[in-house]
Amino acid sequence: MIARVQPLTTTRRLSGPFDYALPEAGVEVGSIVRVPFGHQKLDGVVVGLADTSEVADEKLVTPTSVREDTVPADLVGLALWMADEYCSTPARALSLVLPPPGRPRTELWAARTEAPLEDERLTGNQRALLASLPRAAAPDTGALRRLEARGLAAIAPRSRRRAPLTHPPADRAVEITPGQRAALDALRGGGAFLLHGVTGSGKTEVYLRAAGAALERGQGVIVLVPEIALTPQTVGRFQARFGDTVALLHSALGEGERYDEWRRLRTGDARIAIGPRSAVFAPVRELGLIVVDEEHDPSYKHEGDPRYDARRVAARRIADAAQAGPGSPAAAPPLLLAGSATPRPETWAALPRLTLPERVAGRPLPPVDVLDMRGAGHPLHPVTRRALSEARKAILLLNRRGWSNFLTCRTCGKVWECPQCDVALVLHRADNVLACHHCGHRERVPERCDACGSPSVARYGAGTERLEAELAEALDVPVFRLDADTSAGKDAVPELLARFAAAPAGLLIGTQMVAKGHDFPDVTLGVVVDADSTLRFPDFRAEERTFALIAQLAGRAGRGPRGGRVLVQTTSPEAAAIVAAARHDTPGFVAGELERRRALDYPPFADLIRVVCTAEEPAPARAAAGAIAEPAAAARGAAVLGPAPLFRLRGRYRWQVVVKAHDRAAAIAAVRDAVDRAANEKANRAVAFSVDVDPQ
């Protein structure tokens, strides 16, 4: 037998797998081996076993070691699919499904044996020690060893879990609503569904019951959430209901914790994995259900290579599991359940839909007033100011960090821009710096214009920092700010959210982070300060984003018995996304948006593939983009936009090509070939290529 091994290197040039002789320890698909490779040694993953090899027997080498932990075979298949689907490499895709580094922590554990104690001569201390068993041997290992020698105790190593610290709330047993019951009934036969439920309609209870049903049938569950720090309530509810069978997977865990959580899933000690997008690779056994909560959230798209979309990968995993068939007689067909109050048009069009049209307990959705800001002289409308001063607890969304948008010279018109990227710098007053939000460049705030010497430097627009300062002064409730500048520490976000939740009165102000799924029943006012900020993005998703942001923020208000209201400030009060969000009209918005997408030939009516070529000089980047555009345009059913220049980023010039594909597989294959060929050409040595299938 031969092991086919894919070495884990980052280069695009090497295309395995390569054949190796079977080591004595034996391997299976998913084994991680160390193999001699040229003059070096590399880690590799066994992706297949074969009877024969084209390599002559005497030339076949043997792996030097085999890791104890293995990748489940279904995840090896998933990774190889991903490598193709996202124009990446098998090695890069496999690196996403590897076990985290580490090994189990063991400790010595002491227990009593069957031996009777009556006839033994024991001191009082020894009797007390024996009575305290079973327990960890430390710090009495010496004394216990002596008792072990007499056959009275048994000491053996056993693994000890490093558990993440969490504070789950008490589980609340609720009577299920007829709507929730109907949704659950529809899910019984497996498949893929969209659960469209307005904010506060009790989607989480549906997830919990679907998960409970899967566990009862002996099947495992994955729950994907946008971001652990922003969704402590969802995570807490799963832990409250299912206890230790829930494993948490996310990047803020310590290395030992992460390893242990992975291992508990791999061995079957834990049956439910919960985490952000990378948890879609959790080694859950007999997968029966994947929940994608807040399926519209952009964080499900991975920004590194391979640029996978966890929602698509989840669908593939469920389809694979369905194909593999039930692992036990009780198992039901696997189920993908994507839920949101503001689903993506793609999901709406693709999946059968289950609806929870009302909030639990008949609470109404809050009325939304659109405030016209054309010609306004102050960042806050008078109606907003009055409402803020009257509200005890409110949330305010301003999707712009920092103090002001940009800085310009009143005399000569100079705008302060990032030297690395062609974008305006943003003023951050607390640090007295101008910062680039793309590359992190920072410089001191100028006292006068360095182009003309004028001391008259003006700031335009308001960011979260400035609004926080103004409102802290104007209001007599505490102001809490939540944005990327205030959430640096590991626990900063959950702590801030907990403080806001506990405060009898307060204003939570921040970027889109404040609009995620928080459930604060005493918030009565929601404000969107500049609803146009997302609408102005030059991106076909601008409408969808704006709608989701406003509707989600509105979903945070009026969850309790006191009700609530929402104010939306905008200079485009007639924009479709804003009008629909003000009416809580998801079906209306999606229908209009799908029409627009059909007319413009955007997803879901075409698939997009974006290739970005970057270089230190503009010409090679542009030439490389041209070399991709031409063969891509020849693919069946493909139309190409570009090459078009993008703004310079981190000192590199960027040109992009966008492929609109009507035959997804053909277009992906054509782009993959074109990029592989271009990347191997001498002229493009200084060019970096990045391929993004289904860009966000």
Binding site for ligand ADP (CB under 6 A): 172, 174-177, 180, 197, 199-205, 360, 519
* Cβ nearer to Zn ion, comparing 388 with 649: 649
Shortest Å distance, C-beta 406 to Zn ion: 13
Shortest Å distance, C-beta 449 to Zn ion: 3
Q: Two tokens at 131?
A: 């009575």
Shortest Å distance, C-beta 486 to Zn ion: 21
Shortest Å distance, C-beta 542 to Zn ion: 22
197: partner contacted, choices Zn ion, ligand ADP, none (Cβ within 5-8 A by kind)? ligand ADP
Q: Which of 301, 224, 253 is nearest to 101 (CA)?
A: 253
452: partner contacted, choices Zn ion, ligand ADP, none (Cβ within 5-8 A by kind)? Zn ion
* Cβ nearer to ligand ADP, comparing 360 with 439: 360
Angle ∠(34,36,42) on CA atoms, nearest 5:
50
Shortest Å distance, C-beta 296 to ligand ADP: 13
Beta strands in 393-486 (DSSP E): 393-397, 406-409, 426-428, 433-435, 442-444, 457-460, 479-482
Residues in contact with 575: Cβ distance below 8 Å, sequence separation at least 6, in sequence order: 532, 535, 543, 546
Three-state DSSP at 518 gives: coil
458: partner contacted, choices ligand ADP, Zn ion, none (Cβ within 5-8 A by kind)? none
Shortest Å distance, C-beta 483 to Zn ion: 18
* Cβ nearer to ligand ADP, comparing 122 with 360: 360
User: What does DSSP say about strands 652-661 and 607-615: parallel, antiparallel, or unpaired?
Assistant: antiparallel
CA atoms within 13 A on the CB side of 501: 14
* Cβ nearer to ligand ADP, comparing 4 with 237: 237
Query: CA–CA separation, 304 vs 692, rounded Å?
Result: 9
Q: How many residues does the chain have?
A: 696
Q: Where along the sequence are the contacts to Zn ion (CB under 5 A)?
A: 409, 411-412, 414, 418, 420-421, 436, 438-439, 441, 449, 451-452, 454
Distance of CA 255 to the CA centre of its chain: 19
Shortest Å distance, C-beta 439 to Zn ion: 3
285: partner contacted, choices ligand ADP, Zn ion, none (Cβ within 5-8 A by kind)? none
451: partner contacted, choices Zn ion, ligand ADP, none (Cβ within 5-8 A by kind)? Zn ion
Q: Which residues pair with 575 in a beta bridge?
A: none
* Cβ nearer to Zn ion, comparing 537 with 647: 647
* Cβ nearer to ligand ADP, comparing 193 with 655: 193
SS3 per residue for 188-252: CCCEEEEEEECCCCCHHHHHHHHHHHHHHCCCEEEEECCCCCCCHHHHHHHHHHHHHHEEECCCC
Q: Which residues pair with 608 in a beta bridge?
A: 660
Query: CA–CA separation, 552 vs 534, rounded Å?
Result: 14
Shortest Å distance, C-beta 171 to ligand ADP: 10
* Cβ nearer to ligand ADP, comparing 186 with 472: 186
39: partner contacted, choices ligand ADP, Zn ion, none (Cβ within 5-8 A by kind)? none
Helices (H) and strands (E) in the chain, counts: 19, 30
421: partner contacted, choices Zn ion, ligand ADP, none (Cβ within 5-8 A by kind)? Zn ion
* Cβ nearer to ligand ADP, comparing 556 with 565: 556
Query: CA–CA separation, 257 vs 239, rounded Å?
Result: 16
Shortest Å distance, C-beta 419 to ligand ADP: 44
Shortest Å distance, C-beta 208 to ligand ADP: 9
16: partner contacted, choices ligand ADP, Zn ion, none (Cβ within 5-8 A by kind)? none
- Yes or no: say if 532 and 570 are a contact pair by the CB < 8 Å rule: yes
Three-state DSSP at 425 gives: coil
Query: CA–CA separation, 176 vs 419, rounded Å?
Result: 58
201: partner contacted, choices Zn ion, ligand ADP, none (Cβ within 5-8 A by kind)? ligand ADP
* Cβ nearer to ligand ADP, comparing 185 with 372: 185
Q: Which of 685, 680, 672 is nearest to 616 (CA)?
A: 685
* Cβ nearer to ligand ADP, comparing 178 with 538: 178
53: partner contacted, choices Zn ion, ligand ADP, none (Cβ within 5-8 A by kind)? none
What Cα–Cα distance (Å) separates residue 496 from each residue in 24, 230, 379, 488, 502? 54, 10, 25, 12, 10
* Cβ nearer to Zn ion, comparing 449 with 553: 449
436: partner contacted, choices Zn ion, ligand ADP, none (Cβ within 5-8 A by kind)? Zn ion
Shortest Å distance, C-beta 444 to Zn ion: 16
